[in-house]
Structures are given as C-alpha cells and as structure tokens.
C-alpha cells in the first residue's frame, strides 16, 4: 500500500472558543476535521495555551473556522494568520564548543568539535547526525545526549527563531573529564556549539523560506 504524501502546512491560526461551555463541541469539530482532511492538524501553543490549527493557506483555515461556527454552533476568537517559516544553511561551518561550569561540588564539563553542512537537494530527511569520533575522546554513553542537543538547537532556529532544517551535523572530536562530564554537560555543549554557528552565522549563511 502506497503512503500518501501529505504536504506541510504553510500557515497557522490560533483559535479558541469564546465560552468554556463550548469546549466539548469545539473538540468534536477539530477531531472530525482531522479525520476528513489529512492536511488539517491541531496543535497547542505551550506558552499561551491556545489551540493552533495549521493549514494550506488563509482560505483553507477560514473555511474550517466558519464550519466550527456554523455546524457546531461554537463562537470562536481567531488570531492573526502566521506564515510557517523554516531556515536552512547554505554552506559548511565548523564549531568547537567547551561547556565548563564549576560552582562547588561536581561541575559540568563537555567539549564538542565538528561541523554542520547543508543536506543535498531532495534529501528525504530534514536533520541528520553523524558520529565520526575516533577513539574515546567522548565516551559512547554520551553520544545520544549530544545528538539530542543538536536537534534541540536546530529546532530553536536562528534568524527569526524558526526551525533550521535540511542540515547534517557531524561530530568529529571532543573532550571529557574524569569526574565532571555528564549527559547534561554534553547536551548543553551540543546546543550552544550549534547555536554559536547559527546565531553568529560564522562562515555560514542562513536562508529563510516558507514551507509550501
């Protein structure tokens, strides 16, 4: 069975029922629309608590807002449409970051060295991590934490704080400490190492584009 290629949404909208009593009907509407239309998705803004509905354009979202009001008798407040952007890099850039903290007791120590580069056009993945470490500069038990840190940094964005996609992050070297290295230390080293490249655009141009 061939899987259907569902396009990424290009715009999102914050929608909330005016009355808390309408919450049940509001949820029914959203559940139904998701079953009917694979491009209709529902999310939650963790900061505001608002329901976010991404869609294929302003008209697409307006139709569903009107259906919520007409078919389910739910009056809803609607925020301004927000275009969904992504960022990517255009050339390779290197990083070398040491996270070191000592404030009494066990400290934090982790160093990551490597580079980030754009994935080839048409690549099926949006993010790749490659471990090219030779030897035991970093114990293997800390590699998953490093990969997680790189992913979190990419998701936080660069120019306008939208996710950075279509990149490969390669770990080539690093350093550890007999006492103070930990998963947290290496995760933070990875986060700040990649963000230093993205935010500073150190030998690395960032390109912003909308998802469509």
Phi, psi of 30 (to 5 degrees): -65, -40
Q: Is 153 exposed, middle or buried (0-12, 13-18, 19+ CB in 10 A)?
A: buried
Residue 189 within any structural domain of the chain:
yes
Lookup result for tokens 């009001």 = 69
Mean pLDDT value of segment 184-193: 95
Residues 100 and 195 reside in one and the same domain: yes
What CATH number did the domain enclosing 196 receive?
Answer: 3.30.230.10
pLDDT tens, position by position, 166-181: 899 999 999 999 888 9
Closest Cα partner for 202 from 192, 211, 210? Answer: 192
Whether this prediction's pTM lies above 0.85 is answered by no
Decide: helix, strand or coil at residue 189: helix
Residue 6 within any structural domain of the chain:
no
For residue 211, pLDDT over 70 is answered with no
Residues 176 and 121 reside in one and the same domain: yes
Structural domain boundaries, residue 17: 11-83
Closest Cα partner for 169 from 194, 144, 186? Answer: 194
Closest Cα partner for 114 from 177, 203, 182, 190? Answer: 190
Question: CA angle 150-49-127, nearest 5°?
Answer: 20
User: Residue 191: which H helix or E strand, with range?
Assistant: helix 183-200
User: Residue 113: which H helix or E strand, with range?
Assistant: strand 108-118
Query: For the chain, what percentages of helix, strand and coil (3-state, to nearest 5) are there?
Result: 30, 30, 40
Neighbours of 149 (CB within 10 A): 26
For position 2, what pLDDT does the model report? 46
Strands 76-78, 127-131: pairing kind: unpaired
Q: What is the DSSP letter of 109?
A: E
Higher pLDDT, 132 or 4: 132
CB 54 within 8 A of CB 180: no
pLDDT tens, position by position, 102-153: 776 678 999 999 999 999 988 888 899 999 998 889 999 999 999 999 999 9
How many domains are contained in the chain?
2
For position 6, what pLDDT does the model report? 61
Take residue 172 and report the two structure tokens written for it: 């080539």
Q: What is the DSSP letter of 90?
A: S
Residues 16 and 34 reside in one and the same domain: yes
CA distance 89 to 206: 5
Residues 78 and 92 reside in one and the same domain: no
Residue 4 within any structural domain of the chain:
no
For residue 158, pLDDT over 70 is answered with no
What CATH number did the domain enclosing 65 receive?
Answer: 3.30.70.870
For the four alpha carbons of 200, 206, 210 and 212, in that order, the dihedral sign comes to negative
């Amino acid at each position: 069975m061939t899987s259907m290629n569902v396009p990424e949404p290009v715009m999102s909208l914050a929608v909330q029922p005016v009355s808390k009593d309408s919450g049940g009907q509001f949820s029914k509407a959203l559940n139904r629309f998701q079953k009917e239309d694979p491009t209709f998705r529902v999310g939650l803004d963790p900061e505001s608590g608002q329901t976010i509905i991404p869609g294929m354009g302003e008209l697409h979202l307006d139709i569903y807002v009107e259906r919520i009001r007409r078919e389910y008798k739910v009056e809803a407040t609607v925020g301004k449409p927000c275009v969904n952007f992504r960022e990517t890099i255009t050339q390779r850039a290197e990083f070398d970051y040491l996270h070191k903290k000592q404030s009494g007791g066990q400290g934090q120590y982790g160093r990551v060295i490597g580079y980030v580069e754009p994935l080839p056009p048409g690549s099926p993945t949006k993010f790749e991590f490659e471990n090219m470490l030779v030897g035991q500069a970093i114990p293997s038990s800390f590699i998953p934490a490093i990969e997680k840190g790189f992913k979190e940094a990419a998701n936080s964005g660069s120019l306008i704080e939208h996710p950075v996609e279509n990149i490969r992050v390669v770990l080539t070297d690093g350093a550890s400490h007999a006492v103070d290295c930990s998963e947290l230390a290496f995760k933070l080293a990875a986060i700040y190492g990649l963000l230093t490249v993205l935010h500073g655009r150190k030998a690395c141009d960032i390109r912003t584009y909308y998802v469509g």
